């Protein structure tokens, strides 16, 4: 690939000499380069391979929105991720993506999601009931189960057994771990292929597809209506009156599993850690809940709408710990932005983590301050991406996270033994060692 003009470069020697720490956590290495070289730099990976990294929000907006037609997703998503989850919305490009987006978008409009609120709430309450108050708990597995159960029940209602759910969750998690190894250790890809590791994970992926295929076929045979996402997806029609074929439907369901559950579980875990470190914010949420329940207890949607501070807490959590902490793009034709020239085929990696913590965009950026979202604030903020490819499930995720926080804070006070929040950057930004303690908020009421 040709060299991009006007952009400082990190040499192959510096990159490969830091390979071990990059494999463990690439964020500190990238932060050092941003601080030293500026908001946009390029990694020279050797053998003609280069990668542009940027925390320039204006460049991100240009690529993701203003000139998005000249940019596509990278081969990492359209090929490497796709081999495990198929060619759904997350991994498809061009006309296939446009056709699928137009078909599926209506199912995720807010008015459509209203009918799913009871399913979402029921799944969340069932998992929160597993919380014990007699010891510290690692919240990551609990929220993993909560988010996966929420997606499954919103998709399938009760049409799938717990054994199949557990297997699908295991397959989804295993595929991601394998993909992380492939992406961060490309020099070992020969071994992954030779040892059969990739083949084994692809076989598990096919097993997952067969589980979903049986669920879909049983639903199509059934005469009952569940009013869940699967019904919506099956009933969706293209402009010519046809519906998705079975394989495409499975691809879209796998995207919902992969992109829909882990991002929410990560964000909820980070939110609870932040709340544990800020008891006054917990109490503010609790007061908001009590006030909204008195006015809108029977109308759950209105109740949620009238809990704006809880939404602000979630938005601020997503600012500090965006699950999709990098976004990638490749330009189709040569491009130029603010004096920088990018040859066709340039690989871009935008650090959402760095943009969300940039002192030029956010006052006191390291501070957890939900009040910064008291008014609509979308500038320099990309927790769900931006432009036409913004996450289609953002409304679903916000409802899910808001309900989970409301139900959790309604019942418990949250405590942490340490203020440190550890991260584990994999495909998504994951929490690490998220050990928290819980105490019933109203012991007298609970006993009664």
pLDDT < 50 regions, the chain: 444, 446-448
pLDDT at 444: 42
Beta bridge partner(s), residue 438: 414
pLDDT at 342: 92
**Listed residue (187, 179, 207, 193) closest to 80, CA to CA:** 179
Fold classified for 105-323+386-447: Cytochrome p450 (1.10.630)
CB-CB contact of 277 with 366 (8 Å): no
Where residue 91 falls (left for φ over 0; alpha for ψ -120 to 50; beta otherwise) is alpha
Q: Which two tokens stand for residue 332?
A: 């189709």
Q: Which residue has the tokens 């997606």?
A: 151
Give the DSSP H or E segment for 3: none
Residue 273, burial from CB neighbour count under 10 angstroms (0-12, 13-18, 19+): buried
pLDDT at 55: 98
Beta bridge partner(s), residue 60: none
Q: Concatenated DSSP letters for 63-75? A: IIIITGGGEE--H
pLDDT at 2: 57
CB-CB contact of 348 with 329 (8 Å): yes
CA distance 156 to 115: 14
Q: Please provide the average confidence, as pLDDT, over all residues in the chain.
A: 90
Q: Which two tokens stand for residue 264?
A: 């929410």
Q: Which two tokens stand for residue 257?
A: 């599993």
**Listed residue (346, 345, 366, 342) closest to 354, CA to CA:** 366
Give the DSSP H or E segment for 347: strand 347-351
pLDDT at 402: 96
Q: Which two tokens stand for residue 230?
A: 């699967």
pLDDT at 448: 43
Q: What size, in residues, is the chain?
A: 448
């Amino acid at each position: 690939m040709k060299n991009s003009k006007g952009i400082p470069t990190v040499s192959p020697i510096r990159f490969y000499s830091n390979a071990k720490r990059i494999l463990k956590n690439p964020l500190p290495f990238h932060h050092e380069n941003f601080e030293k070289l500026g908001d946009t730099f390029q990694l020279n990976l050797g053998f003609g391979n280069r990668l542009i990294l940027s925390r320039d929000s204006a460049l991100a907006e240009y690529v993701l929105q203003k000139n998005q037609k000249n940019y596509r997703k990278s081969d990492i998503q359209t090929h490497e991720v796709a081999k495990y989850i198929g060619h759904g919305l997350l991994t498809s490009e061009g006309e296939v993506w446009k056709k699928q987006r137009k078909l599926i978008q209506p199912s995720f409009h807010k008015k459509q999601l209203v009918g799913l609120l009871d399913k979402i709430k029921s799944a969340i309450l069932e998992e929160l009931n597993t919380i014990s108050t007699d010891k510290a708990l690692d919240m990551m597995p609990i929220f993993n189960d909560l988010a996966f159960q929420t997606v499954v029940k919103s998709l399938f209602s009760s049409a799938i057994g717990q054994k199949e759910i557990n297997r699908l969750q295991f397959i989804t998690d295993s595929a991601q771990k394998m993909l992380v190894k492939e992406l961060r250790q490309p020099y070992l890809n020969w071994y992954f292929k030779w040892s059969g590791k990739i083949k084994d994970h692809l076989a598990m992926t096919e097993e997952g597809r067969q589980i979903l295929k049986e669920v879909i076929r049983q639903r199509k045979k059934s005469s009952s209506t569940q009013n869940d996402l699967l019904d919506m997806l099956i009933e969706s029609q293209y402009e010519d009156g046809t519906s998705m074929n079975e394989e495409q439907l499975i691809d879209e369901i796998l995207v919902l599993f992969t992109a829909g559950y882990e991002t929410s579980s990560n964000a909820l875990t980070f939110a609870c850690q932040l709340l544990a470190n800020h008891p006054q914010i917990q109490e503010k949420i609790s007061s908001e809940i009590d006030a909204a329940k008195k006015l809108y207890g029977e109308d759950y949607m209105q109740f949620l709408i009238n809990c704006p501070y809880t939404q602000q807490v979630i938005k601020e959590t997503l600012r500090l710990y965006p699950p999709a902490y990098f976004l990638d793009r490749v330009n189709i034709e040569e491009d130029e932005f603010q004096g920088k020239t990018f040859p066709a085929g340039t690989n871009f990696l935008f650090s959402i983590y760095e943009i969300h913590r940039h002192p030029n965009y956010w006052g006191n950026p390291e501070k957890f301050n939900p009040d910064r979202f008291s008014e609509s604030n979308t500038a320099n903020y990309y927790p769900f991406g931006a432009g036409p490819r913004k996450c289609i499930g953002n409304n679903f995720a916000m409802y899910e996270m808001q309900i989970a926080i409301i139900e959790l804070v309604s019942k418990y006070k949250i405590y942490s033994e340490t203020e440190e929040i550890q991260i584990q950057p994999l495909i998504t930004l994951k929490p690490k060692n998220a050990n928290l303690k819980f105490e019933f908020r109203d012991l007298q009421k609970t006993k009664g």
